[in-house]
Amino acid sequence: MDKEKVQEFIAKRVAHELSDGDVVNLGIGLPTKVANFVPHGKTIIFQSENGFVGLGPSPSEDNINPYITNAGGVPVTILPGGAFFDSATSFGIIRGGHVNLTVLGALQVDERGNIANYMIPGKMVPGMGGAMDLLSGAKKVIVAMEHTAKGSPKILKECTLPLTAMGEVDLIVTEMCVIEVTPEGLLLREMNEEFTLAEILESTEAKLLLPEKILSMQSVIM
């Protein structure tokens, strides 16, 4: 799969973790694609930390409004019933525990559910934005990311980059597999049929716990 297909596959799988009526925050980049794949029959209220609820799917080329953007500055749509508000209200929703689920990207995640997702030492990059607030304020945290970076594992025994939060990640979804963070360690729940178990283990530095039955990601998406 090319990069676009990889990201779509991850976003589709994440979308199946959403429950009807959830208030969901999507991080910038790959996580924003989740809004395009909400399963039929589910109503999800997407919240954008720059100040609105009612985020809809990505706009078509002839329907872009440059004044309606997500936290990453990318044009989005807003659904009927959506509302705009200031940053204080937006972060009041996040810090007040009103977000059921947040989907964030990451540079690294480790065996204890620690996450590093905002800084590469020595490089000019933006700050963490609202990630720290979301990680501590959301009821459930899903990391949606590609499994490796230029062939190097991103799921580690211990993060080496500065941490955004400690022990807050609940689920990791990559193009290779779905991993649940448990008190005993990282549990391999599902596999992409295009990869072997050996390939997944080789691409993951952290130890993975293997259940008796590992589900297919494709079967969940379908």
3-state secondary structure (DSSP) of residue 165: strand
- Structure tokens that stand for 57 in this block: 């799917």
- DSSP letter at 66 equals T
Count helices and strands (H / E) in the chain.
Answer: 5, 16
Catalytic residues: 49
- Structure tokens that stand for 87 in this block: 């940053």
| Longest distance between any two alpha carbons in the chain, whole Å | 50
Q: How far is 156 from 148, CA to CA, in rounded Å?
A: 10
